[in-house]
Structure 1
Amino acid sequence: MLAGCGREAETKNEPAPRPVRTATVEKREAQTPLTFTGRIEAEDEVSVAFRIAGRLLANDTKLGDRVEAGQLLAQLESQNELNALRQAKAALAAAQGQLTQARNHYERQETLLAQGWTTRANFEAATQAQQTAQSQVDAAEAQLNSAHDLVGFTELRADAPGKITATGPSAGEVVQAGQMIARIARQDGRDAVFDVPAQMVRAAPTGVQVTVGLTDDSKVTAQGRIRQIAAQADPVTRTFEVKVGLTNPPPAMRLGATVNGRVDTSSGPVIDIPATALTRMNQQPAVWIVDPSTNTVSARNVDVLRYDQAQVIVSQGLDAGEIIVTAGVQALHPGQKVRVLGSEP
């Protein structure tokens, strides 16, 4: 009797199996489309500005205007630059006159030296005077070229055909060198630009084809391929800018239009589990495996391919037919007995 009471007390002290919810692992064909929302931008967009500071005399740029290569966009007041040009021309003329005088004096000294009517010192002085006058002419020509360039810098011209997407100061304002006067989207190509989370960047295979369509008219579509992925995430949104080069985009895809991008990924059969089944073990993702013969659990590390909002795609660590815990994973420990909710206690 005493032995029987001991076994009964020992049985009563055993903890009751913890109730959990489970799911059976299955493999399925992965064909999950990735979708993003973005905008149309020019493949090549450049901001044009003056190289010098000054007062803006005219600015004929208007948002949306088409421009041709060499077309005049804006102009600065050029009185100071024209005065500098006239001064450079006068300086060059004076230097050329001194060079003519020095060259004539050198030729006379050369003739007199050959006839023995002058000294070597006078001839060397004439030679030095000619070289000095020639250097002054060279310097004056360089200053004249710089003055011509400064006059040219008062006119801002388009370097390639395109469309104006942004404008800067108006006529009458004082602008600084390098200040944006207009932004031109060149006509060479169009990009669909998306701000994509890091996990979607990892999931999209390289060289994949992207279908881009207008948000307000899904019938207007174009095909493209990923051309550039930002090397660093945006410090505010923590997303990566992805540029998709479009092939023959329709005219309806104007600059700034909102578009949707779609990528169909197919990586063969994969295992997806509920996000609630994922935990951590040894600083790595893990799941709890249920042994159906003993109703005990054990932790196993897994390799995660992609995170979704409600599911986790597992690349390694699980086999089809295994039973995993999907609810109650926070309170489990290795070897613990469990009871599947909905089964007999």
Structure 2
Amino acid sequence: MNLPKPSLRVVFLLAVLVPLIGAFLWLALTSGPLAPVPVTLTTVEMRPVTPTLFGVGTVEARYTYRIGPTYAGRVRRVEVQVGDRVEAGQLLGEMDPVDLDDRVAAADAALRRAESGVVAAHAQVGDAQARRDFAGAQVARYEQLLLSRTASEDTAEAKRQEAQVAEAGLALAVANLESAEQDLVRVRAEREALVQQRANLRLIAPVDALVVSRDAEPGSTVVAGQSVVEVIDPSHLWIDVRFDQLGAGALRADLGARIALRSLPLDTLPGEVLRIEPRSDAVTEEFRAKIAFSTLPEPLPEPLPRLGELAEVTVALEPLEPAPALPNAALHRRDGQLGVWVLDDGGPRFAAVETGARDLEGWVQIRDGLASGDRVILHSRVPLRPGRRVEIVERIPGLPR
């Protein structure tokens, strides 16, 4: 049987199409949708994981002093402005004394009068003692004269009566002296009270502090306990932080922390957990804790962390016992289930796992689903699916190692 001889045109088309089809198949199998996906592998390791807690809080002053009068009055002057640094004992302001200075002057006069009264009472006691001693001597003399019958009984009796009167006069003088001394104590106490009230009109800084609020101006009327100037101790700042109750059971005092202020998000400051508040928020399901700055540079920075500024706090808890762990990047969620991709007969297979604690280095504990030494896919250039061809490489360009 003789086959028809192919024409030159057919030969030419075959010569062109066969290489094109081969090139297309090569591209499809090497770099197209049928090409193997480059992947990197990692190994499940036995290692301790240090869980962390993350919370957001606000900067607050540990010691705040609201300085004001102890009774209602008018502000006479305020010597400081917001942002001023003050020293302990420095005058911050003063209240109008009204008639208090005159009352102190009157108390001074009353005190001097009471002191003179005490001096006069002492003199009266001395006079009464002299009269009593003289009367006693006269009684003894006339008793002797009565025995020698050179004085009458009436005369001796008169001398005894004079001695009794002198004794009563001495008792009266002593009583007057005690009364004068008590009156002096009362007047002195009243004067001290007025002087203390006058001193309380001077608003004094209790410690080296920073003025954060000026709540009243000269001429304003304030009531007892109302703040005129508010200052804080700038060397004692802390952060009031809220932590999610989930996983916060291991939180305790003295743990280290890292503080990132909202104004300086790229810098962190060292801190420590000072205390955990005894009450938690049942609505937000959060714990509250106080995080203190471990160190603040000397001299203190300008400006200080601003009160009320938001801060992000990370607390490293106690390390856990070594357990199977792998990098967090190997975990994926597929159909609502958390798991990893493992190689099964050359193809990827999704395996569900149960995870535990995580740390800041990106490691997560595996409680169930994997064992130490298992190799799983860490990174892939594109999302995987079961049965997809993969190619194991050392590193995928553009992705982290």
Corresponding residue to 2:123 among 104, 107, 113: 104
Kindly state the Cα deviation for residue 29 of structure 1 after the two structures are TM-superposed: 5.7
Q: 1:153 to 1:234 in 2, by over 3 A?
A: farther
Task: Read off the aligned partner of 2:246 and give its amino acid letter.
Answer: Q
- The equivalent residue for 2:228 is 181
Corresponding residue to 2:71 among 49, 52, 55: 52
| Structure 2 Cα separation of the partners of residues 240 and 61 of structure 1 | 39
| Structure 2 Cα separation of the partners of residues 209 and 195 of structure 1 | 16
Task: Read off the aligned partner of 2:311 and give its amino acid letter.
Answer: V
Q: State the identity as a percent.
A: 19
SS of the aligned residue for 1:183 comes to strand
Mapped pair 1:91 → 2:110:
yes
**Residues 208-249 of structure 1 deviation map (CA, whole Å, 9 limit, x = unaligned):** 210112224333321111012211235875644311121223
- The equivalent residue for 1:138 is 185
Mapped pair 1:202 → 2:255:
no
| Structure 2 Cα separation of the partners of residues 88 and 236 of structure 1 | 60
Task: Read off the aligned partner of 2:65 and give its amino acid letter.
Answer: V
Q: 1:255 to 1:235 in 2, by over 3 A?
A: farther
Report if the CA contact (8 A) 2:75-2:220 is conserved: yes
- The equivalent residue for 2:238 is 191
**Residues 26-70 of structure 1 deviation map (CA, whole Å, 9 limit, x = unaligned):** x99644432222232233222222222211111234222211111
Q: 1:80 to 1:59 in 2, by over 3 A?
A: same
Structural RMSD (CA): 3.5
Q: 1:128 to 1:113 in 2, by over 3 A?
A: same
| Structure 1 Cα separation of the partners of residues 283 and 296 of structure 2 | 31
Report if the CA contact (8 A) 2:253-2:276 is conserved: no
**Normalised by the size of structure 2, how large is the TM-score?**
0.57
Report if the CA contact (8 A) 2:53-2:243 is conserved: no
| Structure 1 Cα separation of the partners of residues 197 and 57 of structure 2 | 42
Q: 1:56 to 1:271 in 2, by over 3 A?
A: farther
- The equivalent residue for 2:321 is 268
- The equivalent residue for 1:76 is 95
| Structure 2 Cα separation of the partners of residues 236 and 208 of structure 1 | 26
**Residues 279-298 of structure 1 deviation map (CA, whole Å, 9 limit, x = unaligned):** xxxxxxxxxxxxxxxxxxxx
Higher Cα radius of gyration: 2
| Structure 1 Cα separation of the partners of residues 283 and 109 of structure 2 | 58
Task: Read off the aligned partner of 2:108 and give its amino acid letter.
Answer: K
SS of the aligned residue for 2:132 comes to helix
Kindly state the Cα deviation for residue 182 of structure 1 after the two structures are TM-superposed: 2.2
Q: 1:35 to 1:235 in 2, by over 3 A?
A: closer
Task: Read off the aligned partner of 1:166 and give its amino acid letter.
Answer: S
**Normalised by the size of structure 1, how large is the TM-score?**
0.66
Mapped pair 1:255 → 2:302:
no
Corresponding residue to 1:165 among 181, 191, 212: 212
Kindly state the Cα deviation for residue 253 of structure 1 after the two structures are TM-superposed: 5.0
| Structure 1 Cα separation of the partners of residues 114 and 244 of structure 2 | 67
Report if the CA contact (8 A) 2:252-2:275 is conserved: no
**Residues 78-102 of structure 1 deviation map (CA, whole Å, 9 limit, x = unaligned):** 1222122112112112212222222
- The equivalent residue for 1:155 is 202
| Structure 1 Cα separation of the partners of residues 106 and 287 of structure 2 | 55
Kindly state the Cα deviation for residue 205 of structure 1 after the two structures are TM-superposed: 4.6
SS of the aligned residue for 2:320 comes to coil
Task: Read off the aligned partner of 1:258 and give its amino acid letter.
Answer: L
When structure 1 is superposed on structure 2, of 188-197 and 207-216 the one drifting more is: 188-197
Kindly state the Cα deviation for residue 168 of structure 1 after the two structures are TM-superposed: 1.7
SS of the aligned residue for 1:79 comes to coil
Report if the CA contact (8 A) 1:52-1:154 is conserved: no
| Structure 2 Cα separation of the partners of residues 243 and 80 of structure 1 | 47
| Structure 2 Cα separation of the partners of residues 229 and 44 of structure 1 | 18
| Structure 2 Cα separation of the partners of residues 264 and 104 of structure 1 | 81
Aligned residues: 264
SS of the aligned residue for 1:141 comes to helix
Give matches, 1:33-52, under 5 Å.
33-52=52-71
| Structure 1 Cα separation of the partners of residues 320 and 281 of structure 2 | 29
| Structure 2 Cα separation of the partners of residues 200 and 208 of structure 1 | 15
Kindly state the Cα deviation for residue 129 of structure 1 after the two structures are TM-superposed: 0.8
Q: 1:206 to 1:110 in 2, by over 3 A?
A: closer
Gaps of 5+ in 1: 1-26, 278-304, 307-312, 322-341
| Structure 2 Cα separation of the partners of residues 153 and 144 of structure 1 | 14
Q: 1:184 to 1:81 in 2, by over 3 A?
A: same
Report if the CA contact (8 A) 2:72-2:222 is conserved: yes
| Structure 2 Cα separation of the partners of residues 214 and 90 of structure 1 | 61
**Residues 140-173 of structure 1 deviation map (CA, whole Å, 9 limit, x = unaligned):** 1111111111110111010111111223222222
Give matches, 1:206-221, under 5 Å.
206-221=253-268
Q: 1:201 to 1:165 in 2, by over 3 A?
A: farther
